[in-house]
Amino acid sequence: MTRPGSLTLRLTLLFSAVALIGFLGFGWLVGRAIDQHFSAEDVKELKVVAQAVETLLAGRPQSAPLAPLKQRFADILVGHHGALLHVRDAAGRLLYASPAPDLSRIPLPAPARLARGTVQHWQDGGHHYRVYVKQYPAAAPGPYTVMVAVGIDFHLRFIDDFRHMLWLMIAGGMVVMGLLSWLAVRQGHKPLHRIVEQISRISAAELNTRLDPDTVPRELKELALSFNALLERLEEAFRRLSDFSADIAHELRTPVTNLMTQTQVALSQARDADAYREILYSNAEEYERMAQMISDMLFLAQADRGAAPLNNEPVDLAGEVQKLFDYYEAWAEDRHVTLALDGHAQLAGDRLMLRRAISNLLANAIRHTPAGATVSVHLQQNEHQVRVVVHNPGTVIPATHLARIFVRFYRVAPARQRSGEGAGLGLAITQSIVAAHGGEISARSDQAGTVFILCLPRRTEAEAAQDTAE
C-alpha cells in the first residue's frame, strides 16, 4: 500500500495551484484589457478621421477640382499622428493616398460589411496596421471607398513587453505564494501538533487523561471528542483486563494452594494405599474444577474476539428446557425445589450453546431458591423475537450488585471466598452466548423474586448462517 504524501506538502501544492490559476487568470484579463484598450483608442481615432472625410466628401461639389481636395484630406490627418488615408471614388479614381505603405493592396470586405464599416488587421513589410474601411454613399459619380489606417507596432511591442514582465511577476509571485502557503500550513497545523504532543504523553498509567475539546479549533473538536471516547473504551478495557487478571490469579491460587498443602501433608509421613487413594480423589476434584474454569475462560476469550463457532440449526427451546429439567431433577428434589415450564418457542441457533446458557440460569436459580418454592421458565415468541424468562423466588439482589452481575468472577456475596458454587463465570458465559446469537440478556430482582430475561432474534437457518458469516 502506497504511503500517503505529506499533508503539509499536499496543502501547499493545492494553495499554490489555486494561486497559479488566479495569477494566470489575472494576467490574461490584464493583457486582454490592455489590448482592447489600445484597439478601442485606435478604432476611435480611425473613425474620427473617416467621419471627417465623409463630411468633406458630402459637401464637395461634383465639379470641384482635386488639388484643393487633396490638401483638405492632408489637413484632416493633421493631429492624428501616424494616420494613413486612402480614398477612391466609384470609378476607382484615386482621390487621395498617403505615402507608403500602399493601402490599395488591402483586400476589401464583402459589400454588406463594407457599407457598415469594418476594422481589420493588416501586415505589410513587417509592420502591423489597424485599418478601418467603409464605403460612403453619394450621388454621381457614386459611393466613395475610404480606408484609414494607423500603425500599431508600438502598441504590440508595449503589450509584448508588458506580458513578459507580467509573467515574470507571476513566476516570482508563485515562488512567494508557495513559501507563504507552506508557512501558513505549518502555522495552521500547530494545534494538531499540540494534540499529538498531548497524546504522546499519555501512558498506560494515565488513561484517565482527556483532551479538552474547548481548547482546539472547531475543525479538530470532533477528533478530540473521538479520541476521548477511544480513551474511555481503552480505560474500561484496561480496567477489566486488570480485574480479570487479578481474579484469575485469585481463583487459581486457592486450588493450587490446596493441592500443594494436601500433597505436602501426604508426603510428610508414610500412609497406606487407601489414604493415598483418598488424597488423589480429592486432588482430582480440584483438577476437574480448575479444568472447567480454564475451559470457561477460553470460551469467554473466544467469544470476546468473535471466534466462538456457532452451529446454526433449528432449536426447540421447550424440548431443551425439559431435558435440563430432567438433568437437574435429582438436585432440585434434594433441595425441595419444583421446576415448571410454560410456553414453547423455536429459533435457529447453536443448540448446545443455548442449552448451556439456560443451564447456567437454571443452576443459579435452583441454588438460590428456598425449599418448597418453584423455579419457573416461561417461553414466548412472536414473528421477530423469542423470550426466555427464568424466575425464582429468594433473596433480593441489591441494585448495586445487579448492575455487575454479568461481570466475570463477580459474586454477590461479599469477600472472595470459595464456597463450592463455581468461579463466578456462569452468567458471563450466558451473556456471551446470547450476544453471539445477536440477543440481549437482562435481570431484575425484587420481593417477588429474581428474573432473568433472554431476548433472542427469531431467525431462519439461512439468516442465522448469513449473520454468522458476516
Is residue 4 scored above 60 in pLDDT? Answer: yes
Residues 450, 396: Cα–Cα separation, whole Å: 7
364 closest CA partner among 399, 316, 328, 403: 328
272-324 pLDDT per residue, tens: 888 888 888 888 888 887 887 777 777 777 766 665 667 788 999 999 999 99
Residue 223 burial by CB count (10 A; 0-12/13-18/19+): exposed, middle or buried? middle
Distance between CA atoms of 340 and 393, rounded to whole angstroms? Answer: 13
Cell of 195: 494534540
For residue 130, the model assigns a pLDDT of 92
Q: Model confidence over 410-426: pLDDT tens digits?
A: 666 544 444 445 556 78
Is the Cβ–Cβ distance between 59 and 72 less than 8 Å? no
**366 close to 328: Cβ distance less than 8 angstroms:** yes
Q: pLDDT tens-digit profile of 145-186?
A: 999 999 999 989 999 999 899 889 989 989 998 899 899 888
What is the three-class DSSP state of 414?
coil
What is the pLDDT at residue 416? Answer: 40
Predicted pLDDT of residue 256: 84
**In terms of DSSP bridges, do strands 118-124 and 127-136 run parallel, antiparallel, or are they unpaired?**
antiparallel
**CA-wise closest residue to 39 among 120, 125, 126:** 120
pLDDT, position 8 = 83
The more confident residue out of 87 and 255 is 87
Residue 395 CA to residue 370 CA, distance in Å, equals: 9
Question: Are 379 and 321 contacting, i.e. CB atoms less than 8 angstroms apart?
Answer: yes
Mean pLDDT for the chain overall: 84
Map residue 349 onto helix, strand or coil.
strand
> What confidence score (pLDDT) does residue 139 get?
60
Distance separating alpha carbons of residues 347 and 343, to the nearest angstrom = 14
Q: Does residue 222 surpass a pLDDT of 60? A: yes
Residue 189: pLDDT band with limits 50, 70, 90: confident
Q: Extract the C-alpha cell encoding 78.
A: 493633421
pLDDT confidence of residue 280 = 87
